[in-house]
Amino acid sequence: MQSITYIKKIIMNINYLEIGVCGLSCRLCPMYNTEAKSRCLGCKSPTRMTVGCPFITCALKRKGIEFCWECEESNTCEKWKKHREIGKKFDSFKCYQTLEEDISFICKNGIDKFDKIQKQREYLLKEMLKDFNEGRSKSYYCIAATVLELEELKKALNQAKRESYGLNVKEKSKILHSILDSIALKKKHYLKLRK
């Protein structure tokens, strides 16, 4: 009972539920974009707060800050540095390919601007999942929504809608995959989780 009260107190100070303490965008995560009982409502949701993420424990619970970069020790924190270094090469169930760029963007432009862009990315992702997911492409579309530029995503989605009109979802998915793969190849993006 005491831990639930403590978590409620912490949540009252959270302004950006869908942006992780370490800088990941929850809106583009496969676990966030599911209808299953296991759906995650964001890194700082009550369910995730009890899981034991080291960044939640340190920033929110110990220091009372919402993000790692707000910490006075952020430039010297070995845990956060290691997390960011690993994110340059590997992913978990979520794409980390843009983590470093996202943190730089936030520090330069502010969290509100980043959140606004993530909402736009989330909208495009939901469009892809609604119209082009044959049941096997959720992670792929989540990664595409994370790494491609907003304009690239919009153009790809519009092109796929035009080219796939009247087709079944499997055929639609192939068309969108082909378009996204072509963009990724030109830009040297990787549309699979890096393990």
For the segment 65-77, what is each residue's pLDDT rounded down to a tens digit? 999 999 999 999 9
* Confidence at residue 12, expressed as pLDDT on a 0 to 100 scale: 54
The answer to whether residue 52 scores a pLDDT higher than 80 is no
Assessment of whether the complete model's pTM goes beyond 0.85: yes
Q: Exposure of 67 by Cβ count < 10 A (0-12 exposed, 13-18 middle, 19+ buried)?
A: buried
| pLDDT, average across residues 115-129 | 98
> How far apart (Å, rounded) are the C-alpha atoms in residues 25 and 28?
6
Task: List, in sequence order, every residue forming a beta bridge with 25; answer none if it has no partner.
Answer: 19
The answer to whether residue 134 scores a pLDDT higher than 50 is yes
Percent with pLDDT over 90 in the chain: 77
Compute, in degrees rounded to 10, the torsion defined by CA atoms 16, 20, 24, 25. -40
Confidence at 101, pLDDT banded by 50, 70, 90: very high
> How far apart (Å, rounded) are the C-alpha atoms in residues 53 and 48?
8
* Confidence at residue 2, expressed as pLDDT on a 0 to 100 scale: 42
Q: Within a 10 A sphere around the Cβ of 120, how many other Cβ atoms?
A: 14
| pLDDT, average across residues 96-120 | 96
Q: Where are the domains of the chain?
A: 2-187
| pLDDT, average across residues 86-98 | 92
* Confidence at residue 10, expressed as pLDDT on a 0 to 100 scale: 52
